[in-house]
Chains A and B, each alone.
Chain A
Amino acid sequence: MKTFEAAYASWVMNNRFIIIALSLVSVTALSYGGGYLRFDSSYRAFFSDNNPELIAFENVENTYVKDDNVMIIMAPQNGDVFTRATLAAIEDLTIEAWQVPYSNRVDSITNFQYTEAKEDNLIVRDMVKGADTLSDEALLTARRAVLAEPSLKHRLISATGHVTAINVTVQMPIDERAEAGQTIAAYVRDIVKHFQEQHPDIDIYLSGMVMMDAAFFESAMLDSKTLIPISFVLMFSIIALLVGGLFRTAVTLLVIIFSISASMGVGGYIGYPLTSLSSSAPIIILTVAVANCVHVLVTFIHSMHDGEPKLPAMEESLRINLQPVFLASTTTAIGFLTMNFSEVPPFNHLGTLVSVGVLVSFFLTISFLPAAITLLPVRLKKATEDDTKSISVLAEFVIAHRNRMLLGMTIVIIAAVSNLPRNQLDDTFLYYFDKSVKFRTDTDFMIDNLTGVDFINYSLDSGSSGGISDPAFQFDVERFAQWLESQPEVVHVSRFTEIMKRLNKNMHGDDEAYYRLPEERDLAAQYLLLYEMSLPYGLDLNNQVNVDKSSTRVTATIGVISSNEMIAFNDRALTWAKNNAPSLGYIESAGVSLMFSYIGQRNIAAMIVGTTLALILISAILIIALRSLHIGLVSLLPNLAPAAVGFGIWGVFVGEIGLSLSIVAGMTFGIVIDDTVHFLSKYLRARRENKLNPEDAVRYAFRTVGRALTITTLTLVMGFSVLASSSFKMNSGMGLMTSVIIILALIMVFLMLPPLLMKIEEKTIHA
């Protein structure tokens, strides 16, 4: 009686044309969905709709206004902002910035609303107007006024007056954020380019949330423009070199291209947005799909070298490889599906896309690939003896030194695992981009010279309508703001109490003694009314005070700190307020990096659950498929060890585990187990079908899959190394770590699994 594998293999060989036609039709149908793919470059794509921090963030936005922004940083080469030419240039650019699409507010040192008292008038005016006609004295006055203004210093002007910025606030519609962001970034770059032609003596840098969105987009585009072609060329070379033959290489590439386009198509049908994370799916599918093809082809060529004709050779290869390739694909897919446990939607999408790609590649490998290869002429290179020789040498070495191997590997594992605790779950938001991304270097400049890029908004609620005018509340707001200011993490704090103090002074004939908060509620409310009536278009208080005048927003600009420090800082601030400023009531805090910080923490918790589940599921599959409980269990050790050792090494050299690394363990588990599956299936076949003893079964396994495993490991490492060179750290970190773990996995399978098997089997045989 034929086994299922044998029956399937001969069916494939008898229906090759139908199979090819069916494959082409289904791949085309699936790929069609690719037309629905859209790129979402917004940082908000990283948060699911029910993410509590995003909800808090949007509450604050809806209460005040959105503060997505573009910072246009201006650094005059002469090191002085306060010259007629530079101030005039700032004035011009401020006016031009109102034309930025979706902008609703533009703040600069020139249009800052300066207030002063003149007799019984409250004068509210632009800080600097008509700069090119200012006298030397007026210039000096402007310089003093700007540098003395707490709302501006460390926010829009550096303490020494050598760098300034224009902040453009934009309101991007939620459903077209990505497009809006790109339009804004392009527009701003255009006016900046024009500006620099006229003012070559002023250097310009761009930062802010919109530019960060643009960086997400551009780094993904850069990756797909450079990394994807590089991976294709690499894979092509590797297959050509190791498998050989133009047709075989071409068919393998077709399988890969089909798998990628089908999975992206499925993503399109589901409605996944492409993000800087999920756009790395093609590279990963490419890498993982190659392995399946290699296994089928290597066995095929092996049989033909042994003198088998084309068709029987392929039939045999299918028969032998069907189960291990199926197992390997399933476990890999499960590994990637664990990404669906992540709190970060782009990881869910990436995981599903790769899983689909892997499964498609499995079906094509066992249908389209053998059908197409056997319809094309097969030309073999002369078999070189070295191919199996070096592997055999390795096999003999491992068999001879099995006890030492076992001991050595155990020591390595223990040493590495003891370094696991050196890893900290932490990362720094800004460093998601490496220094090849202009946003990063521009932002670095801003941080070094002017202000921070991260904000935390504290929405302070007085609890009653108009309550922000209550002196007790204002007093606490001011104290909270001062406390924030005194913290080392904080660069600048903006609050509306600054305005109140200034107005109080203006109302008392600019008497410095009155530069303090008004002492009566009515007075404060009326000052505010007067001030609001005097403000020009776009420069209102809506960004600091809610409509009911019951709550106000204090914004702390933060320097570069890691996500753990961010969370710790936020906790400290909330605790301080609770203990020291009781009238502030319930405080809502919201900020982009704060959201990323919390999501990092929660993601790790979710991924631990996901990874554990994958571990149990994959082990169960292995045990059932190998039909051996104890061998299945034993094989777990060399499968778990690579990730443990990998993270141990990471602990020694890096020590910081960010958002993307937290998903690596589950994902690589599905990949590295393939080595074990292939090795064990050959080993058990030798034991069961050929009745070989453990030592000879190990030799057989080495001889039959040693080469294929080396090839697949090489391809995987190459593929993930390409990813490791991404300018986006979530991709590069993941690529690097995965490469390391995959290499470790091969070492474990070659050096640790065989000694383990022999040890166990000897025991059971002797028993």
Chain B
Amino acid sequence: MHNCLVALLIVLFPFLAVAETPEMKGLAIIQEADKRDLGWIDSKAELRMVLKNKQGQESERTIRINTLEVEGDGDKSLSVFDAPRDIKGTAFLSYTHSVVPDDQWLYLPALKRIKRIASANKSGPFVGSEFAYEDIASQEVDKYTYKWLRDELFDRRDCFVIEAYPVYKNSGYTKQVVWLDKEIYRAVRIDYYDRKNAKLKTLITSEWRQYLEKYWRPGLMEMTNHQTGKSTKLMWNNYQFRTGLTDRDFDRNTLKRAR
């Protein structure tokens, strides 16, 4: 009797091992997405940000963003504001980390001083927009745990639908539901759920372009807040890769020179 059972287990074992849980499948998909986006080294891009309130009033900001890929940790980025005029030249340096708070500095040209932002907050709005800083900071695998829900068509794209739960305890979200395009392995839609697990906002990305025949970047990101009726559009232009940026370009001392 016992022998029979053991024999059965031996026969079935390979199948049991292969049958992956939704959690494992979710993680595997994200790891694949992460792997496919490795090796771009550095990038430069111009960002136009249009904020809109429920009343229909709009406001615009333009930012240049340089990013340096960091293996094994979050990326480094330097953002320089070009408009509006009263914050022109303000530069924002950030070292993203997976689980511990990011390191962030801001250079204020009017004060000619660098200020370290000593705050555990990644969940506040980025320059008054509907994007939280954590939404646009580099997305590291370790920042979340995952669960694959289903496969589904979204906007005529074949997608994996995956739930991501933030590991970081100061996150503003309980979860994100990500529609990940099976072809390009990038998120084409994300629903964000707030701390009480109510749908807070939706991000739709579009105008995808491939760079260096490998790396996909969206030309347009639109975030709509369902609770307040406000929305923000991010329009990306002039993407450049492997421009020769180094660690020294993301040094605190470069902040003052970054115009």
| Chain A minimum-CB-distance residue to B228 | A65
Q: Is the CB of B227 within 8 A of A102?
A: yes
Residues of the A chain whose Cβ atoms lie less than 8 Å from the Cβ of B119: 123-125, 534, 536
Residues of the A chain whose Cβ atoms lie less than 8 Å from the Cβ of B229: 62
Of B4-12, B26-34, B127-135, B215-223, which binds chain A?
B127-135
Of residues 106 through 133 on chain B, the ones whose CB sits less than 8 Å from some CB of chain A are 106, 108-111, 113-121, 123-128, 132-133
A547 on interface, CB distance cutoff 8 Å? yes
A308 on interface, CB distance cutoff 8 Å? no
Residues of the A chain whose Cβ atoms lie less than 8 Å from the Cβ of B132: 537
A568 on interface, CB distance cutoff 8 Å? no
Count of CB-CB pairs between chains A and B under 8 Å = 154
Of A85-93, A472-480, A525-533, A723-731, which binds chain B?
A525-533
Q: With contacts A533-B117, A539-B124 known, is A101 near B198, CB below 8 A?
A: yes
Q: Is the CB of A120 within 8 A of B106?
A: no
Q: Is the CB of A102 within 8 A of B198?
A: yes
A47 on interface, CB distance cutoff 8 Å? no
Alpha-carbon distance A443/B229, docked complex (angstroms): 31
B39 to chain A, nearest CB (A): 30
Of residues 488 through 509 on chain A, the ones whose CB sits less than 8 Å from some CB of chain B are 507
Q: Residue B55 contacts which of A62, A523, A537, A549 (CB distance < 8 angstroms)? A: A62
Q: Is the CB of A526 within 8 A of B196?
A: no
Alpha-carbon distance A539/B55, docked complex (angstroms): 21
B106 to chain A, nearest CB (A): 5
A118 on interface, CB distance cutoff 8 Å? yes
Q: Is the CB of B124 within 8 A of A536?
A: yes
Q: With contacts A529-B106, A547-B51 known, is A118 near B118, CB below 8 A?
A: yes
Alpha-carbon distance A165/B138, docked complex (angstroms): 38
Residues of the B chain whose Cβ atoms lie less than 8 Å from the Cβ of A549: 59, 84, 128
A106 to chain B, nearest CB (A): 10
Q: Is the CB of A536 within 8 A of B57?
A: no
Q: Residue B53 contacts which of A62, A538, A541 (CB distance < 8 angstroms)? A: A62
Alpha-carbon distance A520/B110, docked complex (angstroms): 8
Alpha-carbon distance A103/B86, docked complex (angstroms): 33
Q: Residue A98 contacts which of B104, B124, B127, B195 (CB distance < 8 angstroms)? A: B195
B37 on interface, CB distance cutoff 8 Å? no
B172 on interface, CB distance cutoff 8 Å? yes
| Chain B minimum-CB-distance residue to A117 | B115
Q: With contacts A171-B227, A465-B59, A529-B90 known, is A534 near B113, CB below 8 A?
A: no
B64 on interface, CB distance cutoff 8 Å? no
| Chain A minimum-CB-distance residue to B230 | A547
Q: With contacts A98-B195, A102-B227, A120-B113 known, is A540 near B128, CB below 8 A?
A: yes
B52 on interface, CB distance cutoff 8 Å? yes
| Chain B minimum-CB-distance residue to A470 | B86
Q: With contacts A99-B196, A466-B86, A546-B53 known, is A535 near B125, CB below 8 A?
A: yes
> Interface 1/0s, chain A 33-67, versus B by CB < 8 A?
00000000000000000000000000101111110
Q: Residue B87 contacts which of A64, A121, A526, A546 (CB distance < 8 angstroms)? A: A526
A617 to chain B, nearest CB (A): 44
Alpha-carbon distance A100/B227, docked complex (angstroms): 14
Residues of the A chain whose Cβ atoms lie less than 8 Å from the Cβ of B51: 547-548
Q: Is the CB of A540 within 8 A of B125?
A: yes
Q: Is the CB of B52 within 8 A of A547?
A: yes
Q: Residue A521 contacts which of B81, B86, B195 (CB distance < 8 angstroms)? A: B86
Residues of the B chain whose Cβ atoms lie less than 8 Å from the Cβ of A583: none
Q: With contacts A100-B196, A542-B128 known, is A537 near B172, CB below 8 A?
A: yes
Residues of the A chain whose Cβ atoms lie less than 8 Å from the Cβ of B196: 98-101, 103
Residues of the A chain whose Cβ atoms lie less than 8 Å from the Cβ of B58: 547-548
Alpha-carbon distance A525/B55, docked complex (angstroms): 23
| Chain A minimum-CB-distance residue to B125 | A540
Q: Is the CB of B118 within 8 A of A104?
A: no
Q: Which 6 A-B pairs have the closest CB atoms?
A: A537-B172, A537-B123, A525-B86, A548-B59, A62-B54, A62-B55
Interface CB pairs A-B, < 8 A, 11: A64-B53, A120-B114, A507-B113, A522-B86, A532-B127, A535-B125, A537-B170, A545-B128, A546-B53, A547-B128, A548-B51
**Can you add 10 more A-B contacts, CB < 8 Å, to A530-B106, A532-B128?**
A99-B196, A104-B227, A118-B118, A120-B116, A124-B118, A526-B111, A529-B87, A532-B124, A539-B124, A540-B125
Q: Taking beta carbons and an 8 Å cutoff, which residues of B are in contact with A?
A: 51-55, 57-59, 81, 84-87, 90, 92, 104, 106, 108-111, 113-121, 123-128, 132-133, 170-172, 194-196, 198, 227-230
